[in-house]
Each structure stands twice: as structure tokens, then as C-alpha cells.
Structure 1
């Protein structure tokens, strides 16, 4: 760790960082992915998480009555409007924190969507398992869904450059109700309210039984970049945008499920956009990524680009932020060169996730330095050796 720390500090100094700025950027760029070679999966995709079964039921119901109506009958947040202060009301808290039915609550007037009939529910197969995806073709509807499911129905702002949201730790009271029904059937004659409260106390310790992960997507242009800026027709760019956006979010799901972390951080964004762009067009383009961030005219930054969403908490100082921009530019260009040289051998089903895993072992400083190519290759080789040994071990078991 000491050697890596010194290397990173040396790279930052070479980009003109002062001692204080080096400390700032070392903290911002710290790799917090929790991973071990010995626990990596040997085969992808992974089995789905427990919550997917409930969403498969929702998808079946949606075929009969429509997606929005089906989900509104299951997810209590969709039974309330977007209204300032609503999260502080007693009825909202009872419905979303205690699971009290909203059927008789006069405040539960329902979420208003502009085009509810256009809402789609997709069960998407990602590298780390199936994940539910809500696709809104209307920008206002996307914003309303994000506010309802992640902002407690409060009208908080959603940046124009944001076209997707990964929802994690979502308390699904419908799953709690299903659990209670099954528990009551098994404990017939001993399912009083007090008995249920005891069981509920045990249930809340097992988050996988009631917390969901899902993705909310819009179908607008990726990162609010126009088709003319990319040099494509609007139809083609919208199609490509959707793939980039979906696979970008699935990469956040990937790091969250395998390594317990997904952050508003430029390393996470570099990895996620790498996967999204490759999935959409078959190879990586650093110039696209830099345009998405607002750095297409580096060293100038275009206000409104995604970069300003990832300045950190507390925000990086002005000069440290400038150095971060230079780092991410070099990292993206190094990644493009590596992908151009080895891209074809990285496109098999198991090699694609292995490349993503390899990138999680590095820092932005390592990816931005002149030795980035060898660092990526070294970790890829280690991963492949480790996975081969794990596969042989599994085969040797009786």
C-alpha cells in the first residue's frame, strides 16, 4: 500500500499538484472497492437476487393491466403525488415506514405521470444477474419516478445531465406483506399482532427479504449531449444512448453486488461509461466519454456537463478539480489505447466482466500514468490465473 501511495502521489505531483492538493486528490481517488481474488465468481451471469421474483410477478400483472397501474398497486410511493413537505406528514410516514395501507388515505391521490401508458418494465439480464428496469419515454415522468422512489415524493431537483438512477436499499412493503401472508399461513393459530411484531423484528435484520434494487431510465440523449455533437442521426443516437445508459447503470450494479460500492466518483464513472460505450458500439471512445463529462474542449470545461456532479463531498478545491480533469482525460485516452489493442479478446461473455473487475483494482492516478497499459494487463493476467485455478478446483471436487 505504501508503494501505491507513493506512486499515486508522484503522479499527482507530475500533474502540478501541491502538497495540499495531493492530499485532497489521494482522498478523493481512494479505491474503496472491497474485493478479493479468492471470492470472485467463476462464471457470469450470476443468479438473480431474491427481490427479482417479486418483480417477475409485477411484470406478469403488467401484461394484464399495464405497467404503471400494476406498479401503483404494489409500490406505496406511487400512490402519493410529488408534493413539497409530503414526506414529513404522518400519513406518508405511516405508509412508507410502517407499511400501513394507503387505500383509505385521502392524501394518497396517486403519482401523476404525463404518459403513464408509455412506462416500460424490463427485466434486464446483466453480468451480475437480472435487474428490474423502469424505462420512461417522457423526461418529466422519469423525474417524477426518481422523486417518488428515491426522494420520498419531494420535488427535489434532478440534473438535466442525469438520465438514469440506480435505486438501492428500496424498502418494498409489498414484499413485507407477502412475507407476512406466508408466515401467517405457516403459523395458523399463532399469528396475532404481537406475534407478528416479534417476527417483523427478525425480518428487518434480513434486508434481502424486503429491500430491492432497480434502475430508472429515461430514453433521452445520453448525458444531455445532442445527436449533432456526436455526429449521428437523432434516431441512431437515441438508440445508442439507451444502451450506454442501461449498461452504465448495470456496471454500478456490478460493483455494488461484487464489491459493495457504487459512488458519485470519477473512477466509478470511467468504468461505467467504458462498459456502456463498448456495449453500444463495440469499442471504447475516449472522446465520447470526455464530451459526456463536458471536457470535449479540455482544458476548458462546458458548464452543464456531468463532471460537476462528481466533485466530491466536501468539494475539491478549484485547482485540485482542474488536476482531476487532466487525470481523467489521460485515463480515458490510456483506456482507449488498451481497448483498441486488446478489445477483441475482451469481448467474450466471461472476459467482459473480468475487464471491469480489473479496472476496479486500479486508481485514477494509475490509469492516468504512462504505465497504465502494463498495470491493466498485469491485473488481467492475475485474474485469469486465479479464475482458472478456481475452475480447476471446482472440477476436482467429487
Structure 2
């Protein structure tokens, strides 16, 4: 095995060390969450200006009246959630909370973050930022459901997805832009929105096609740091394990296992280990 192949294998071996014993769940809220509770009933931009002194009027908001603050209930405690109703406002809010004057352009497929804020007076607050849009930029026609229904399901997907990232962070000490983390998070997203997990639905969200080692969607965003010539191997590996994950999740749901059992099972086993005897080439 040459060094390039070894690096690729090591990449696929990423998973989380799950403690033998977990503390009482859910965990207590992080201290800053209490500050965000003061947002109740307030106009979002006014709250961010009054509470944290953020320069909210430096941006050309498209739908500022539709900005919302709520709270996610997770195994890691509650987390503030800011929801936008346009991709441009999503980019503005990302810039505002991170203390940047200029937005960073992101693909239309990216409409959610579990982010740690960097702006002055709000530094290191962990929040979820969501935009109201079709999940993974998948059209309602491809999903076979009306637009309004798909938008509602998309928000359920995003909220459960980002909550799962926060849970691996607080319970297992990390969260990554890695295919395994995305499978775990989308697993809970699918369960929240549809009550099940289907591999073919996940391929649609990722931009994969069964039996092919190419990607035309969201998964390519998470492997951008991998040499281009190696990405096909990762797409192939993810394609293979999705069927395995579908079987496992459906079995666990049929047993009525609770969330923490499913989370530890998914996050504690790498893509490499899930491949078993399948050929990685």
C-alpha cells in the first residue's frame, strides 16, 4: 500500500470514540443559551443589536421580517436556532454572526450550519443557522411531493441534521465535514421528516448514483480537501455503505431503539469498517 492509498484508507476510518457510560441526558444547556432566551417575542435584528451590539443594518436584508429565533431540543442540551427565508439573508446572517462585512458565497445546496460565532460580544456561542429552502437543493418534482410540503419536510430534515452534529460534538467531542458525519446527521434528518431512512433518498441528497463513483451534488462539498483523483473512491465507498446503513437503521427503528442507541451505533463505526470485504479500489 503506497502513502496515497494509506491516506485514503485513514480518511475512511474516521469515527467517534463512544464512552462506555454517558452522563444523564439531555445535557445541561451551555451557559450562553440563557442569553438567547431574551429573544422571545422580539424582532430578530433588534435583539441581535440590543443584546450583542451587532451591526445588523450593514446588510441589505431581503426578508428581514421573516427572520426567526427558536430553540432546538437535543441530547446535548438546547441550542438557539436562527431561520432565514432567502439564501442571501442566510449568507448575510452567516457574515453578521462571524463579524465579517462581506458575505462568503456558498452553493445553493448549503442552507444550514451548526456554527460557532466569531463576532465580538457573541464570540463562541454555538447556534444553528437554517434557511427555508428545498433540502440539498432537490426539487419537489424529484421528491414526488408538492413544494410547500417539501419545504416543511426540508426544515425538519435540516433541524434534525444540525442537532445530530451538535450531539456528536457534546457527547463524543467532535463534529466534522466528513461523509460519516453527514450520513449520521442525514440519518436523523430522514427519520425526523419521513419516519425512516432510505439509501436511494440519501443518494439523491448527496448527488450520488448507485454503482457510479461520481458525484453531482452536496457530497462533493465535504470532500473538497481530498485530491480530485481520490474522490471517486470515496463516492464509491459511500455508495456501498448506504445500503448497509438503511438496513441497520430500519432494523433499529423496528426494535424501537432510542435515539442515543442509534446515534452511538452510527457514529461509532467508520465507513471503512462498514465496507467489510467490499473492494475499495
Q: TM-score, normalised by structure 1?
A: 0.65
Q: How far, CA to CA, are the matches of 1:251 and 1:334 in structure 2? A: 20
Larger Rg, first or second structure (1 or 2) = 1
Whole-Å separation in 2 of the counterparts to 1:110 and 1:164 = 22
Q: What stretches of structure 1 of length at least 5 have no aligned partner?
A: 1-17, 81-108, 175-209, 372-398
The answer (yes or no) to whether the contact 2:85–2:133 under 8 Å persists in 1 is: yes
Distance 1:211 1:143 in 2: 19
Quote the residue 1:284 is aligned against.
Answer: 197
Between the aligned partners of 1:169 and 1:151, the Cα distance in structure 2 is 8
Match of 1:160 in 2: 108
Deviates more, 1:329-338 or 1:217-226: 329-338
Contact 1:334 1:367 survives alignment (8 Å): yes
Q: How far apart, in 2, do the equivalents of 1:75 and 1:112 lie?
A: 20
Distance (Å, rounded) in 1 between the aligned partners of 2:10 and 2:118: 29
Matched-pair contact (CA < 8 Å) for 1:28–1:312: no
2:5 aligned partner: 22
Task: State the shift of 1:21 in Å.
Answer: 4.5
RMSD between superposed Cα atoms in Å: 2.2
- Kindly indicate whether residue 50 of structure 2 is the aligned counterpart of residue 73 of structure 1: yes
Question: Which structure ranks higher in relative contact order (CA pairs < 8 Å, sequence separation ≥ 6)?
Answer: 1
Matched, 1:218 2:218: no
Whether 1:143 aligns to 2:91 is: yes
Q: Higher helix proportion, which one?
A: 1
Instruction: Check 1:369–1:32 CA distance in 2 against 1; reply closer, same or farther (3 A cut).
Output: closer
1:299, CA displacement in angstroms? Answer: 0.8
Q: 5+ residue gaps in structure 2?
A: none
Q: What is the TM-score normalised by the length of structure 2? A: 0.90
Q: Separation in 2 of the partners of 1:172 and 1:34? A: 34
2:231 to 308, 321, 326: 321
Is residue 156–residue 189 contact of structure 2 (8 Å, CA) maintained in 1? yes
Residue matched to 2:173: 260
CA distance in 1, matches of 2:265, 2:104: 36
Structure 2 match to 1:53: 34
Cα 1:355–1:165 shift into 2, 3 Å: same
Correspondence list, 1:1-398, <5 A: 19-31=2-14, 33-38=16-21, 40-41=22-23, 43-59=24-40, 63=41, 65-77=42-54, 79=55, 109-150=57-98, 152-168=100-116, 170=118, 173=121, 211-296=124-209, 298-299=211-212, 301-303=214-216, 305-313=217-225, 315-318=226-229, 320-347=230-257, 351-369=258-276
